[in-house]
Amino acid sequence: MSASQGRSVSLLLGVTPVSLLVYQRFSGLVLALDSTAEVLEQADYLYSCGETRKLHTLLLQNAHSEDAEFLWRLARSSRDLALQSSNAEEKKRLTYEAYDYATRALQKNQGSFAAHKWFAVCLSDVGDYEGVKVKIGNSFIIREHLERAIELNPGDATSIHILGYWCFAFADLPWYQRKVAGVIFASPPTSTYEEALAFFLRAEDVEPNFYSMNLLMLGKTFMRLQDMEKAKMWLIRARDYPAVNEEDKQAQREAVELLKKLKA
């Protein structure tokens, strides 16, 4: 997966000591670099290492940038910090900050697949604070931007995965939420487990083993489709996936619990 697609990156810093000003921040090294390309390279390296807070610190130095490449990365890092936060107020603040950065990134470059992708993700996140009507209404916009991201870059496995997750969420919607959606919208968003599965498998074809959550969602989708043999295979892969960050650990924990249910 490329830097703009997700975390599985292994970049070497193609810079020399003379070109760097090194200073201490948050008890770790954060590099103040002398060009846009070098900052982005360092940012992608920190992301690949799971150094979320150091990454956010580095990118905040460019918070007023007009460059979409900075802005969508800042949206992503703000969102990652929000996911890690146990403080409700901080989580909400970071969620809205991430959305603001993603919105700016999209405004600066409509041709950036990553800007479309992270705008869709961050719009979904703020929906958790806006109520059911807004969240469901935003779902149409979210799918539109995910499809645009895939159109711009068919090789981006994470955009395909997220669209699969969108489909799974609406296929898995409880009956009472479907009823509410039907009252609010004449044609509420709908999908099927089969559609979700097709996207998860497509993401895996584009980049095998790229993301712990895609493995987990394949297992969960096959469970919903009553194919327990394939569900077990994918859940084992999710369980055994090397954990780089909290999201990977969460996927592992959920896979373990689901495997117990399969054995019961």
Task: Name the amino acid, one letter, at 222.
Answer: F
What is the separation, in whole angstroms, between the first and last Cα of the chain? 36
pLDDT in the model for residue 6? 41
E strand residue ranges, 34-73: none
The pLDDT tens digits of the residues spanning 80-120 come to 999 989 999 999 999 999 999 999 999 999 999 999 999 99
DSSP code, position 17:
G
- Strand partners for 107: none
Q: Kindly tell me if the per-residue pLDDT of 30 is higher than 60.
A: no
* Cβ–Cβ under 8 Å, residues 117 and 163: no
Q: Kindly tell me if the per-residue pLDDT of 65 is higher than 90.
A: no
More confident position, 191 or 21: 191
pLDDT mean over 186-206: 93
User: Going from the N-terminus, what domains does the chain have, and what CATH number goes with each?
Assistant: 1-129 (1.25.40.10), 154-264 (1.25.40.10)
The pLDDT tens digits of the residues spanning 146-167 come to 999 999 999 999 999 999 999 9
Q: CA dist 215 to 34, 37, 178, 201, Å?
A: 39, 33, 27, 9
Q: How confident is the model at residue 35 (pLDDT cuts 50, 70, 90)?
A: confident
Structure tokens at 217: 């969602």
Candidates 50, 49, 103, 34; CA nearest to 74 is 103
Q: How many CA atoms lie within 13 A of 229 on its CB side?
A: 0
Structure tokens at 165: 């997750």
Q: How far is CA 30 from the centre of its chain?
A: 24
Q: How far is CA 152 from the centre of its chain?
A: 17
Q: CA dist 110 to 59, 116, 147, 175, Å?
A: 21, 8, 13, 37
DSSP, collapsed to helix, strand or coil, labels residue 29 as strand
Q: CA dist 87 to 4, 81, 246, Å?
A: 28, 11, 16
pLDDT in the model for residue 1? 43
pLDDT in the model for residue 32? 46
2-16, 169-183, 236-250 — most confident range: 236-250
d(CA 61, CA 83): 21
Q: State pTM to two decimals.
A: 0.81
